[in-house]
Each structure stands twice: as structure tokens, then as C-alpha cells.
Amino acid sequence: MTTLLWFRSDLRLSDNPALAAALAHGGPIVPLFILDDEDAGRWRAGGASRWWLHHSLRTLAADLAKRGSHLILRRGPAERELDRVAGEVGARKVVWNRRYEPWAVSRDEGLKAALKGRGITARSFNAGLLREPWEVVNGKGEPYRVFTPFWRALRAGLDLPAPSEAPRHIPAPQVWPAGEALGDWGLTPSRPDWAGGLRETWTPGESGGQERLDAFAGRASLAYGEARNLPGREGTSRLSPHLHFGEIGPRQVWRALTAAAFAETGDLTPSGVEVFLSEIAWREFSHHLLFHAPALPEQPLRPEFAAFPWIQDSKGLEAWRRGLTGYPIVDAGMRQLWATGWMHNRVRMIVASFLIKDLLIDWREGQDWFWDTLVDADLANNSASWQWVAGSGADAAPYFRVFNPVTQGQKFDPDGAYVRRWVPELAALPDKLLHAPWTARPLELADAGVRLGVTYPAPIVDHAIARERALAAYALARA
């Protein structure tokens, strides 16, 4: 009896519960990936994510071929394509791993009912989270809105099975159904080809994710607590896109880090590893928030922000997108994003605070830009994080906490390594002036080859004035 294995955001063969279930069922397995932009609607993958998806699917197809199998590609509404492929191969069972975006949750419920009506068994599994969103609730049976008690509850009930290895062989059907060519989907840019920095930075696919995990586990993770806030150092894991596309799973990450830490120190969770695991829990928290508050990407979680007096500032928004705000740490982050499809987490908070509080531009504008440009663009993480900075989300930073981009740069990039890499026109400035070049004397600027307003922009807003304006707007919204 043939089983249809529907790949989605679980593009790996190891620790894949749906694949394990298909193998346990016996009989031929038909792996299938459906590019379903219609059901996703506005939240179809952005440009950087589509580039990653192309290369991840190519890697998955090669991994399947090594095991005697083949990845079938189809495009269109999932229900239609699942029905067609199931009919073509005579599948009586369909298995997949769950997604938690609102559109996917509602669609999957309908899919199970539709398949059952056709006499086809449908089962779904958890491959992307440590625990399901409905499993971690407070004493009243309600979802958590504050991270710390959520983290305690998540950890208290955590019982992780050992991750399974990838199978050596996957049974194939006698005849394969027709599929589309990956190159015909146009997921990678051609003219202009802006993805050069992505190719230089990333290796999409399960093996690339495992290599990055292996490199981070051990001493790098032990130092994470001190190094994670320094964007000029390689102190973070950069696992986020691999986690988003399911090339590795959080159970694998947890096991690898605790095992490596124990081998190194005799302690499963020394401080650096503990801090990193709490970041994995923040990812988990974001997915739980989105599951229980499906309007999170569209509406503020705190109702008083619905009437916030945002400003329409197209010039400011464009300067922010292009990394031309005149604030070096902000511009460095935005240029890193455009070049590599990724941005250091500390800098994400700085650039988000600048857009929301210095420019008073709606957080949804930033969310949408990140959605299109991040290789790790994840609906739950993206929306929860932007609302956290805005002060409108769960366990949010207080709105009156306004990051000063100058002091943030001085504190977290003290030697200027990060700014000098991404804003090279300022590279010759001394450290004391690098994060506030407008404070330099004309001779100091001339010696560094900097001409404010010509080779590098003057600040587009005065931070001190902008901060007072933001606080006044917040007070108005609350009133």
C-alpha cells in the first residue's frame, strides 16, 4: 500500500516523524513537495526565502535519490495536488509534519476531512517544535503571555526522544507520477542576480544545517552567553534558517548542545548553553503565540496600540531599508541583511527600535521588509519579535525603552569591527567617532575621507528629539 509523504517545512530525512511513520507503515513511499502560494496568500515565501527553498529542495532531492527514492514537485493548492498525486499512485495514506501558521492550520484541518471522505488516511506529526502549542498552558488552561513562566512550564514537561537517523533506503513505487522541474519555478533571481552574498554565506540543506550545528556545539555554544551580543564576532549559531526550513529540528539542536556540553564540562547545561536553549524556547514561545493569536502578524496583541499615531514617512522608510539613515550601527545591520539575507539578533532589535520609535513608522512595515529579505523569515518569530520591540506584543519591551543607536553601537561594537565591515566608507574613522561621525571635527572627517551628506549621510533624525516624540505618541495612544 503506497504512502504519500508530503514534505513542507521539514526538509530533512533524519528525525522526521512523518517519514518514520511512512517507513513503519511499509510499502512504497512517494515523497512530494507542493509549492502552494495560493493558500499562503500574503504570506507566501519572500524573495530570500524562495532562494533558500530552491537550494534546500535540490539538496533534499539528491538525498532522496541516494536512497533509491525521488522527490515529486507540484505547484498549486495543496488539496488539489494531494488528491491528484494520491489518485495517480493509488495512495491510501498521506502523512506530513505540522505547520503552525494560521492559514496552514485551517487548511490542514480541511485537508484531513477531505482525504478521509475519499477513503484516505491522513496523519500529521510534530517535527518543528519541542512541544505542541496546546500542550503548554497555565493553571487555568490558557496560553502563556509572559516568557519566563512559559519557559519553566516548557522545560518541566520536556521529554525528548533520541533523534532518529536518516534511513539508508526508502522503498519506491514501480511507477513514479509526473512532477515539475525545480528550475521552472523561478525561485532564484536571475536578472538582476542579487543573491551572490547569499551563496557566499549559506549552504542550504540538511547537511549544511548539520555542519553548522556541529560547528556551534561545544566551545562555541559554551561562549554564547558572552559572545551573542557582539555582532563583530562569530558568536551566534546562525541556525535560524535551517530551523525554519526544518533541515534540522529543535530536538536535534537540544540533544547536540547538551551532549557536547557534557563531554566538555561534565554539565548538560552550563551557562552559555543554558542561554542558547532559552533562545530556542523564545522561538517556541513565538510559535505558541501565533497559534493562539492568529492575527499576530496583522494586529497588535495589546489593543491600546490599535490607535497608535504612526507616521507615513516614505523617505525615512527607504533610507532605513537601504542602510542610509546616518546611524552607523543601523545602516550596518540593514546592509548585512540585504547582502546576506540575515542580521545579527542584537542588531535586529536596534534597527527595529529605530524604525518604530525614532521614525514612528508602523512595525508592520519593518515586518514586511524582513519577510522579503530574511532567509530565516518565519511568520511566528518575525511578527512576535516586531511586536516585542514595538511594545504591543506579549512580554513586550516597554514602549519607553528606546534604543539609542549610538550607545548601542559603542557598547556592542566597541572596536567597530561590525560597522567597518558593512559601512566601509567610515572605516578610517577612529573608534571614538565611528558610531557618531557627525560629532567629528571637519579635519577629523577629512582625514578619514568622510564627507557627511556626500560619502555618508547625516542622521535623518535627531535621536533625542525622536525619543521625546515617540514617548508623546505612546502617551496619546494610551489616553
Mean predicted confidence (pLDDT) in 442-460: 97
For the stretch 387-417, what's the b/e string if a residue is b when 16 or more beta carbons lie within 10 angstroms of its beta carbon?
bbbbbbbbbbbebeebbbbbebbbebbeebe
Residue 475 to residue 479: CA distance in whole angstroms: 6
Q: Give me the pLDDT at residue 179, please.
A: 97
Regarding whether 328 and 258 lie in a shared domain, the answer is: no
Q: Give me the pLDDT at residue 161, please.
A: 86
Q: Give me the pLDDT at residue 191, please.
A: 64
Q: Give me the pLDDT at residue 202, please.
A: 97
Q: Give me the pLDDT at residue 398, please.
A: 76
Mean predicted confidence (pLDDT) in 386-412: 91
Q: Give me the pLDDT at residue 1, please.
A: 87
User: Using 50, 70 and 90 to split pLDDT, how confident is the model at 54?
Assistant: very high
Question: Is residue 264 left, alpha or beta, with left meaning phi > 0 and alpha meaning psi from -120 to 50?
Answer: alpha
What are the tens digits of pLDDT across the range 102-114?
Answer: 999 999 999 999 9
Query: Where is average pLDDT lowest: 24-28, 269-273, 405-409, 450-454?
Result: 269-273
Regarding whether 382 and 263 lie in a shared domain, the answer is: no
Which segments of 413-453 does DSSP mark as H helices, in order? 417-422, 431-434, 442-447
Asked whether the bond before 192 is cis by omega within 30 degrees of 0, the reply is yes
Q: Give me the pLDDT at residue 219, please.
A: 85
Residues comprising the chain, all counted: 479
Q: Which helix or strand (DSSP H or E) is residue 19 part of? A: helix 17-25
Q: Give me the pLDDT at residue 190, please.
A: 67
Regarding whether 39 and 156 lie in a shared domain, the answer is: no
Q: Which domain holds residue 82?
A: 3-127
User: Using 50, 70 and 90 to split pLDDT, how confident is the model at 126?
Assistant: very high
Regarding whether 140 and 110 lie in a shared domain, the answer is: no
Regarding whether 213 and 83 lie in a shared domain, the answer is: no
What are the tens digits of pLDDT across the range 171-196?
Answer: 999 999 999 999 999 999 866 777 88
Report the number of distinct structural domains present in the chain.
3
Regarding whether 109 and 155 lie in a shared domain, the answer is: no
pTM: predicted TM-score of the whole model, two decimal places: 0.96
Write the CATH number for 407: 1.10.579.10
Regarding whether 285 and 256 lie in a shared domain, the answer is: yes
Regarding whether 356 and 274 lie in a shared domain, the answer is: no
> Over 80: is that where the pLDDT of 411 sits?
yes
Examine residue 216 and state whether it is found in any structural domain, yes or no: yes
What are the tens digits of pLDDT across the range 333-357?
Answer: 999 999 999 999 999 999 999 999 9
- How many beta carbons lie within 10 A of that of residue 353, not counting itself? 22
Examine residue 190 and state whether it is found in any structural domain, yes or no: no
Regarding whether 107 and 32 lie in a shared domain, the answer is: yes
Regarding whether 308 and 448 lie in a shared domain, the answer is: yes
What are the tens digits of pLDDT across the range 59-85?
Answer: 999 999 999 999 999 999 999 999 999
Examine residue 189 and state whether it is found in any structural domain, yes or no: no
Please provide residue 318's backbone torsions phi and psi, each rounded to the nearest 5 degrees.
-65, -40
Write the CATH number for 153: 1.25.40.80
User: Using 50, 70 and 90 to split pLDDT, how confident is the model at 29?
Assistant: very high
Catalytically active residues are 279, 282, 310, 345, 363, 386
What lies within 8 Å, CB to CB, of 367 at 6+ separation is 297, 382, 383, 386
Residue 129 to residue 110: CA distance in whole angstroms: 22
> Over 90: is that where the pLDDT of 320 sits?
yes
Please tell me what DSSP assigns to residue 125: E
Regarding whether 273 and 137 lie in a shared domain, the answer is: yes
Please provide residue 215's backbone torsions phi and psi, each rounded to the nearest 5 degrees.
-70, -30
Assess contact for 36 and 76: CB atoms under 8 A. Answer: yes
Mean predicted confidence (pLDDT) in 311-331: 98
Regarding whether 140 and 118 lie in a shared domain, the answer is: no
Q: What is the residue-averaged pLDDT of the chain? A: 95
What is the SS3 assignment for 428? Answer: coil
